[in-house]
Amino acid sequence: MVLPLPLPQLFTYKIPDQLVDTVSAGCRIIVPFGQRKFVTGVVRSIHQHAPASYQTKELIDVLDVTPTMNAYQFKFMDWMAEYYLCAPGEVLQAALPSGFKLSSESMIQLNPLFQEASVDLTEKERRIIQELRSNTLSYKDISKLIDQSSVQPIIKLLIQKQAILLFEEVKEKYSPKIISKIRLADQYTTPHALANLMQELDKKPRQQEVLMRYLQEVPVIQTPGANIPGIEKTFFTASGLSTSSLQTLIKNKVFEAFEEVISRLSYRADEKKSVVELSEQQEAAKESILLQLDTKDSVLLHGVTGSGKTEIYIDLIKRSIDNGSQALLLLPEIALTTQIVQRLEEYFGDRMGVYHSKFSDNERVEVWRGLQEGRYDFIVGVRSSVFLPFTHLGLIIIDEEHEASYKQQDPAPRYNGRDAALMLARIHNAKTVLGSATPSIESRDAALKNRWGYVPLLNRYGNVSLPEIRLADMRVERKNKTVQQGFSLTLLSAIRETIANKKQVIIFQNRRGYAPMLECEDCGNIPMCTSCSVSLTYHQFSHELRCHYCGFTRKVPQKCDSCSSHRLKTVGSGTERIEDELQILLPEARIRRMDLDTTRKKNSFAELITAFSQHEIDILIGTQMVTKGLDFANVELVGVYDADRMLYFPDFRAIERTYQMIVQVSGRAGRKSGEGKVIIQTAQPEHPVFAFIKNNDYDGFFTRELYEREMYHYPPFTRVTHISVLHLDKKEALKTAHGLTAKLKDAIGSKRILGPQVASIEKLRNYYHIELFIKLEKDIKGLQSIKNKIASIVQNEHTLHIGSKGRIIIDTDQN
Ligand SMILES: [Zn+2]
Ligand SMILES: [Zn+2]
pLDDT over 80 at 710, yes or no: yes
pLDDT value for 728 = 93
Q: Quote the ligand 2 centre to 137 CA distance (angstroms).
A: 42
CA distance 591 to 621: 8
Q: Is 203 exposed, middle or buried (0-12, 13-18, 19+ CB in 10 A)?
A: exposed
Q: Quote the ligand 1 centre to 768 CA distance (angstroms).
A: 27
Q: Quote the ligand 1 centre to 518 CA distance (angstroms).
A: 11
Short-list 735, 732, 276, 681, CA closest to 483: 681
Short-list 236, 229, 225, 232, CA closest to 189: 225
Mean pLDDT score, 459-469: 88
Report how far apart, in Å, the C-alpha atoms of 570 and of each of 475, 511, 519, 521, 585 are: 21, 14, 6, 10, 19
CA distance 146 to 124: 6
pLDDT over 60 at 605, yes or no: yes
Q: Which ligand is nearest to the CA of 557?
A: 1
Q: Quote the ligand 1 centre to 769 CA distance (angstroms).
A: 29
Short-list 347, 354, 281, CA closest to 319: 347
pLDDT value for 264 = 67
**86 annotated ligand-binding residue:** no
Q: Quote the ligand 2 centre to 763 CA distance (angstroms).
A: 9
392 Cβ contact partners less than 8 Å away, ≥ 6 residues apart: 324, 325, 326, 428
- Give me the phi and psi of 626, to 5 degrees please: -85, -5
Neighbours of 721 (CB within 10 A): 22
Q: Quote the ligand 1 centre to 547 CA distance (angstroms).
A: 20
269-461: in CATH 3.40.50.300: yes
| Coil, helix or strand at residue 288 | helix
CA distance 347 to 354: 14
Task: For residue 171, give the H/E element and its range.
Answer: strand 164-172
- Give me the phi and psi of 539, to 5 degrees please: -110, 110
Q: Quote the ligand 2 centre to 549 CA distance (angstroms).
A: 5
Q: Quote the ligand 1 centre to 527 CA distance (angstroms).
A: 10
Short-list 74, 77, 64, CA closest to 369: 64
Look up residue 14 and give its DSSP letter: B
More confident residue, 647 or 240: 647
Q: Quote the ligand 1 centre to 557 CA distance (angstroms).
A: 11
CA distance 790 to 284: 47
pLDDT value for 169 = 65
**114 pairs with which residues across the strands?**
none
Neighbours of 188 (CB within 10 A): 19
pLDDT digits (tens, 9 = 90+) for 260-296: 877 666 554 455 677 788 999 999 999 999 999 999 9
Fold of 104-172: Arc Repressor Mutant, subunit A (1.10.10)
CA distance 108 to 141: 10
Q: Which ligand is nearest to the CA of 545?
A: 2
CA distance 554 to 567: 18
- 363 alpha-carbon distance from chain centroid: 14
Q: Quote the ligand 2 centre to 533 CA distance (angstroms).
A: 7
pLDDT digits (tens, 9 = 90+) for 780-796: 999 999 999 999 999 99
Q: Which ligand is nearest to the CA of 569?
A: 1
pLDDT digits (tens, 9 = 90+) for 632-646: 889 999 999 999 988
Q: Quote the ligand 1 centre to 728 CA distance (angstroms).
A: 29
Report how far apart, in Å, the C-alpha atoms of 238 and of each of 219, 247, 248, 257 are: 20, 15, 18, 17
Q: Quote the ligand 1 centre to 708 CA distance (angstroms).
A: 44
Q: Which ligand is nearest to the CA of 550?
A: 2
Q: Which ligand is nearest to the CA of 567?
A: 1
Contact criterion met (CB below 8 Å) for 611 and 504: no
Q: Which ligand is nearest to the CA of 566?
A: 1
Q: Quote the ligand 2 centre to 175 CA distance (angstroms).
A: 37
Q: Quote the ligand 2 centre to 559 CA distance (angstroms).
A: 21
pLDDT over 60 at 553, yes or no: yes
What average pLDDT does the chain have? 90
pLDDT over 90 at 152, yes or no: no
Q: Quote the ligand 1 centre to 559 CA distance (angstroms).
A: 8
Q: Quote the ligand 1 centre to 364 CA distance (angstroms).
A: 52
Q: Quote the ligand 1 centre to 523 CA distance (angstroms).
A: 4
CATH topology match: 269-461 vs 468-511+588-708: yes
Instruction: With cut-offs at 50, 70 and 90, classify the pLDDT of residue 762.
Output: very high
Q: Which ligand is nearest to the CA of 533?
A: 2
Q: Which ligand is nearest to the CA of 548?
A: 2
**27 annotated ligand-binding residue:** no
pLDDT digits (tens, 9 = 90+) for 645-675: 888 887 889 999 999 999 999 999 988 888 8
Question: Per-domain residue ranges for the chain?
Answer: 104-172, 177-262, 269-461, 468-511+588-708, 516-571, 718-811
Contact criterion met (CB below 8 Å) for 769 and 716: no
CATH class name, domain 468-511+588-708: alpha beta
pLDDT digits (tens, 9 = 90+) for 722-753: 999 999 999 999 999 999 999 999 999 999 99
CA distance 635 to 343: 20
Scanning 571-697, the segments in alpha helix (DSSP H) are 575-585, 604-613, 644-647, 654-666, 688-694
Q: Which ligand is nearest to the CA of 519?
A: 1
Mean pLDDT score, 790-811: 91
pLDDT value for 697 = 94
- Using a pLDDT cut of 70, give the percent of the chain over it: 96
Say which range, 330-334, 408-412, 429-433, 665-669, has the weakest mean pLDDT.
Answer: 330-334
Nearest-10 crossing angle of helices 698-711, 441-448:
100
- State whether the Cα torsion 615-617-621-624 is positive or negative: negative
CA distance 537 to 515: 6
Q: Quote the ligand 2 centre to 546 CA distance (angstroms).
A: 8
Q: Quote the ligand 2 centre to 729 CA distance (angstroms).
A: 17
Report how far apart, in Å, the C-alpha atoms of 454 and of each of 47, 290, 435, 555, 699 are: 47, 11, 10, 54, 13
**Burial state string for 343-357 with b = 16 or more CB within 10 A and e = fewer than 16:** bbbebbebebbbbbe
Q: Quote the ligand 1 centre to 561 CA distance (angstroms).
A: 7
Q: Which ligand is nearest to the CA of 527?
A: 1
pLDDT value for 35 = 65
Q: Which ligand is nearest to the CA of 764?
A: 2
Mean pLDDT score, 229-252: 84
Fold of 718-811: Alpha-Beta Plaits (3.30.70)
Residue 24 region by backbone torsions, left for phi larger than 0, else alpha for psi between -120 and 50, else beta: beta
